[in-house]
Amino acid sequence: MTGPMTRPLSRFLLVSVLLLGSISAGAQSLPQPAMPPQQVQAQTQAQALPPTPTAGTPALGRLRVFDDWAVACDNRLSCSAVSLLPQGAGEAYSVLVWIGREGGPDGEATVELSGAYELRGKIDLFVDNVSAGQLIAARDMARANGPSALKLIRRLGSSYSFDLRVGKASIAAPSLSGLAQALRYMDEQQGRVGSAGALAAIGDKPASLARPLPEDIHFPMAATDMPLTGPVELTAEEQQGARALAKCGGRPRELPIDLHPLDAGHVLALIACDAGADNVSSIVLVGMGGSGARNFQYARFDLMPGATGEPGVPPLIVNAQWNPVRGSLSSFARGRPLGDCGTSETYVWDGTMFRLTQARAMPVCRGAWEWPVLWSATPREAGPVRTASGGAARSP
C-alpha cells in the first residue's frame, strides 16, 4: 500500500453533511468532476494491464468502479481499493475500508480502517455475522498487514456482510458489493490469477507468481543551498511581466502574486485566476534570473495538472499548496464541496520543470475521503533535505 493521502478536508464535516441527507437527495444527479482522458479512463473500458513507465510523460493507472468499491493500480503495480457509499444511501460511513496490495512476488497485503469520528481501542470484526478477529485502533486508524491482512481480505471478498463493533455496538457496516470484482481486478493487474497468492482468483500455481516490478521512476531534485521559504520581492516591471502572461479569459488579473523561491535562479509565481466556493485556480509561472531582472514563463510539467483542460491553456493548479521543506507543489481539485471526489497531484521541481511524484483521483462522489493512487515516483535529493529555515535535516 502506498499509504493514505493527506485528508483534504475535515472528515467530520464530510460525515456531518452526509448524515443530514445531502447525499441521499442528490448523489445520483450530481455531476462528476471533469477528468482529462489521460488521468482516468472510462469505467466501462476493457480491462488492460497497467502502463509500463517510461522516462517521458507519466502514464497514469486506470481507475475502475465495481458497485460499492473503487480500485486502481499505479505504475509500480501497487493496487488499492476503497469502499464507497452505496448509491442512494441516506447515511455516511463512519469508517472507511482501504485494501492495498503491493506489486511483485513478495507484495504485502494491507487492510486499513479509517475513522470519520474518533476511532480507538479494540475493534471487533464480524464477517457474515461470524467473528473474524480484532484490530486495535489508534489515532483514528486500525491496520492489519501481511498474512493476517491477506486472510481477512480473502474472507471479505467471498462474503456478504462486514460489521465493525465496539463491544456489542455496531459502529459501521461497509458494503461488500463489488469487492470480489475489485480484488480480481487487482489480481489481473498484478499477474496473480490462478496462483496460491491471489486475493480472489486463487488457484494451484505457485504463490510467488506475479508480474515483475517495473523499474522505479527516479529523478533528481534541484540542487540548492538556499532556504525554500522567505520573502520574495518583485519590482514593478517584474510584476507587470508576470501579469502579462497570467490572463484568465483574455484578461489580466490584479490579485496578489503568491511567490516562493525554487532555487538560486528560479522563483515560483502563483497567480489566482478563478475562485469559487470550493476551488481556487492559479496560473503557474516560473521567474528566471536575478532579483530585479526576472523574466517569467509558464511553468513546465511532465504531466499537466488535471485542471488545466484543453491543450494550449496555461497550466492551472487548484487549491495550490507549496511545501518548502519537501520542495513540492500540490493541487487538489474538489469535484464538489464535500471533497469526496476530484483529482490530486503532487510535483517537485527538478531545476527545469515540475515532475509528478504522486497522482490520485476519485471520479464518483460517494463519501470516500481516501483516494486510490494512480502514479508514484521518487525524487532523489541532491543533498541533505532542506528545512523551512534553510537548515539541513537527515534524508528519510
Cβ neighbours of 185 (radius 10 Å): 23
CA distance 89 to 134: 27
Report the pLDDT value the prediction gives residue 253, as an integer from 0 to 100: 58
pLDDT of 84 above 70: yes
- Highest average pLDDT, of 3-7, 250-254, 325-329, 330-334, comes from 330-334
Amino acid, single-letter form, for residue 23: I
Report the pLDDT value the prediction gives residue 29, as an integer from 0 to 100: 31
**Strand 316-318 vs strand 280-288: parallel, antiparallel, or unpaired?**
antiparallel
CA distance 144 to 142: 7
pLDDT of 386 above 60: no
**Strand 109-115 vs strand 316-318: parallel, antiparallel, or unpaired?**
unpaired
Alpha helices in the chain (DSSP H): 11-19, 22-26, 146-157, 179-190, 236-245
- Long-range (24+ apart) CB contacts under 8 A made by 136-142 are 137/113, 140/114, 140/115, 141/112, 141/113, 141/114, 141/115, 142/112, 142/113
Report the pLDDT value the prediction gives residue 256, as an integer from 0 to 100: 78
Instruction: Decide which of 292 and 334 is more confident.
Output: 334
Report the pLDDT value the prediction gives residue 96, as an integer from 0 to 100: 93
pLDDT of 202 above 50: yes
Which tens digit of pLDDT belongs to each residue from 253-287? Answer: 567 788 999 988 899 999 988 777 788 889 999 99
Report the pLDDT value the prediction gives residue 155, as an integer from 0 to 100: 98
C-alpha dist (Å) from residue 84 to 129, 173, 281: 21, 12, 28
Report the pLDDT value the prediction gives residue 290, as an integer from 0 to 100: 80
- Long-range (24+ apart) CB contacts under 8 A made by 35-42 are 35/306, 35/343, 35/361, 35/363, 36/306, 36/308, 36/309, 38/303, 39/306, 39/343, 39/359, 39/361, 39/374, 40/343, 40/361, 40/363, 40/374
Options 2.60.40.1880, 2.40.110.10, 3.30.70.20, 3.90.1150.10; which CATH number does 11-190 get?
Answer: 2.60.40.1880
Alpha helices in 47-166 (DSSP H): 146-157
CA distance 299 to 210: 39
Amino acid, single-letter form, for residue 138: A
pLDDT of 229 above 70: no
Report the pLDDT value the prediction gives residue 88, as an integer from 0 to 100: 82
pLDDT of 237 above 70: yes
CA distance 262 to 389: 14
CA distance 349 to 268: 10
Which tens digit of pLDDT belongs to each residue from 295-332? Answer: 899 999 999 887 676 666 788 899 999 998 888 999 99
Region 236-254 average pLDDT: 74
CA distance 237 to 245: 13
pLDDT of 245 above 50: yes
Report the pLDDT value the prediction gives residue 71, as an integer from 0 to 100: 98
375 in the Ramachandran plot: left (φ > 0), alpha (ψ -120 to 50) or beta?
beta
Report the pLDDT value the prediction gives residue 40, as an integer from 0 to 100: 34
Q: Where are the domains of the chain?
A: 11-190, 218-393
* Percentage of the chain modeled with pLDDT above 70: 76
CA distance 256 to 85: 40
pLDDT of 294 above 80: yes
Which tens digit of pLDDT belongs to each residue from 33-53? Answer: 334 333 333 332 323 333 443
Which tens digit of pLDDT belongs to each residue from 134-178? Answer: 999 998 999 999 999 999 999 999 999 999 999 999 999 999 999
Report the pLDDT value the prediction gives residue 228, as an integer from 0 to 100: 56
Mean pLDDT, the chain, rounded, equals 80
Q: Reduced to 3 states, what is the DSSP secondary structure of residue 343?
A: strand
Report the pLDDT value the prediction gives residue 127, as an integer from 0 to 100: 98
pTM recorded for the entire structure: 0.79
